[in-house]
Structure 1
Amino acid sequence: MASFQRRWAQVQDVRFLVTTQPRRNVYEKYRDKLEQKAREEGVPDIDSLKKVYTDKIQGVRKQDVAHPLTPGQQTPQTGAQTAGTAGATQAQQSPARPNSKSQITRLDDLLDLEKVRTLPSRELEAIWRLRHANLPNSLVAAIPADTFKRMESLAKSHPQFVLPVPHESEGAEMHFLQWTWDAESKTSTVLFTQLAEYKLRGEWAVPHTTLTHYTELAGEKDVVLMRGVVQSDRGISTESVRWLVLCLQRFYGGWDGQKQDIVRSEERKRLLEWFTVGDGRFSVQALLDEAERMG
């Protein structure tokens, strides 16, 4: 990606947005309707209504992961080049599986695991890319298991963060990310939401992008398969999401196994730590500086 010159507008410091009360405006705007809905549900107030719908809210936030992809371009991750194989079509399909409690599409719904387990890792990666090749607004990657292990280790300590998408003529737009884990499907998922949307709606906000990392084959094939879905009606392009994925990899140590500036790597980790604990040393300007160096 081309390097971005320093033309970004000043951005308000956002380190405390996670702990504020971003839903106040929404409640005021829809208070009458929410109170009416609470009465219909037989609960005393809006807070009680929220508790009733907690599971449903979480389901909506992850609905993009549960539904089949409509999405088709690759992230700048490592992996085998796309190549046809004799058993590709068969390996991309798997028998129907009974519904599970997990809302995330499992890997054996996307690939015939019995077949792909017999293939070399390079062919597995090629099949994974072919599986998503014709799906617009999608992202796909095959991540070395050790690399993902490094990223996930940081993610468990710092499951929330903010990342910028630079726009030379409009400054930088900030995006909130959150890691979640699902033991049943053996996945780690990253949810991306515009920070303005998250500030307004909090946990009611619906992400514009979901990245699901499948770890089921990490032990035997030394690879974690990733697929992402970008919602076309959420005001962000696939190209901008690629930039977010690049920043995600970099800030969460995905490139630390390569030759790099150790000082810069430590600075990115410090920004993660400071954001997590609300340390005053975290600054959006420092975040923008680090993102700019990745151009």
Structure 2
Amino acid sequence: MVLLQIYTMQRLATRVSRSLLSSVGNASFYSFAPNQPFTASSWRRNFRKLQEHCIPAGFLNCGLLGFYRTSSFATGFTPLQPKPLDSIIDIERAKNKSPEDLSAVWDDYHLGRGHIAASMKAKLYHLLEHRAANCQYFVIPLWRGSGYTTMFTQVQMPHILFTGLEDYKARGTQAAPYFTVSYYTEFAESKDMVLVRGDVVFMSKLTDSEAKWLLETLQSFYLNDVRYKLVERFNKETREFEFKDVLQALEMPIL
């Protein structure tokens, strides 16, 4: 599958009218000041404004997909290509290592600014994969200072994209990713583990610790039965979704 398609903000494109997409920079949903943190109340107001422009969920502007197969995310930005596992580690040598040793080697390899390494049980990966197939999109509040920076996520396994709504405001559906994640299943059967690699695309946008927190938090919403209900609501019952419920789940203050 072409990675460009993975990076397309399909869900938002299917929710707004064509006229809104054509003037996304001036859309009411994005009418907040640049570089300002979001509050729960401002999110709720703007989210409801977006709902007024909803179109049937089954509608897909196929032209958008074709466009993204032949273009960049944003001016001057070339999309990352997924790195095959054999370009990162020696798979044959890795086959002889225990899951614990392989996990340690994987972590050591990714030490350094801009890289996140993790691993997970195959059963959890398959649950994440199953749930993401039905619910690909979600929003995560990232606390900074006295407010929130809201991150928009697209989960299309074996990849996850994180980008900021501020960049979506500025670039529309050509917004560049801040942080990308890839899952490697080569050892899912033999070692009951899936290797996870995260790359911070724009280090000026996210720190390593923020990227790690975003990944762990997003996974918790897909893997925890109670939290996953919020993901389902965001994707399937949009009008019932309340951002404050996400804040409460994360024990964050509602401003």
1:163 to 140, 145, 149: 140
Residue 284, structure 1, aligned to residue 234, structure 2: no
Q: How has the CA–CA distance of structure 1 residues 17 and 50 changed in structure 2, closer, same or farther, with 3 Å as cutoff?
A: closer
Does the 8 Å CA contact 2:24/2:169 hold for their aligned counterparts? Answer: no
The 3-state SS of whatever aligns with 2:190 is helix
How far apart, CA to CA, are the structure 2 residues paired with 1:62 and 1:154? 29
1:116 to 84, 89, 94: 94
Residue 146, structure 1, aligned to residue 123, structure 2: yes
**Equivalence for 2:34:** none
How far apart, CA to CA, are the structure 1 residues paired with 2:235 and 2:251? 22
The 3-state SS of whatever aligns with 2:183 is strand
Q: How has the CA–CA distance of structure 1 residues 54 and 175 changed in structure 2, closer, same or farther, with 3 Å as cutoff?
A: same
**Equivalence for 1:63:** 79
Per the TM alignment, residue 51 of structure 1 is displaced from its structure 2 partner at its CA by 7.6
**Pairs within 5 Å for 1:210-289:** 210-253=180-223, 256=224, 265-266=225-226, 268-289=227-248
Per the TM alignment, residue 25 of structure 1 is displaced from its structure 2 partner at its CA by 4.7
Per the TM alignment, residue 59 of structure 1 is displaced from its structure 2 partner at its CA by 7.6
Per the TM alignment, residue 26 of structure 1 is displaced from its structure 2 partner at its CA by 5.3
The percentage of aligned residue pairs carrying the same residue is 27
How far apart, CA to CA, are the structure 1 residues paired with 2:149 and 2:68? 29
Unaligned runs of 5+ in 2: 1-10, 27-60
How far apart, CA to CA, are the structure 1 residues paired with 2:123 and 2:159? 17
Does the 8 Å CA contact 1:17/1:199 hold for their aligned counterparts? Answer: no
Q: How has the CA–CA distance of structure 1 residues 62 and 126 changed in structure 2, closer, same or farther, with 3 Å as cutoff?
A: farther
The 3-state SS of whatever aligns with 2:69 is helix
Off by >6 Å, runs of 4+ in structure 1: 49-52, 58-62
Per the TM alignment, residue 238 of structure 1 is displaced from its structure 2 partner at its CA by 1.9
**Equivalence for 2:23:** 24
- Please, what is the CA RMSD of the aligned residues? 3.0
Q: How has the CA–CA distance of structure 1 residues 59 and 213 changed in structure 2, closer, same or farther, with 3 Å as cutoff?
A: farther
Residue 189, structure 1, aligned to residue 162, structure 2: no
What per-residue deviation string (whole Å, max 9, x for no partner) do you get for residues 198-257 of structure 1?
24433311100001111121111111001111134552222222221121121011xx4x
What is the TM-score with the length of structure 1 in the denominator?
Answer: 0.61
Per the TM alignment, residue 284 of structure 1 is displaced from its structure 2 partner at its CA by 0.6
The 3-state SS of whatever aligns with 2:70 is helix
Does the 8 Å CA contact 1:132/1:138 hold for their aligned counterparts? Answer: yes
Does the 8 Å CA contact 2:24/2:172 hold for their aligned counterparts? Answer: no
Paired residue total: 203
Q: Which one-letter code corresponds to 1:57 in the other structure?
A: S
Does the 8 Å CA contact 2:168/2:175 hold for their aligned counterparts? Answer: yes
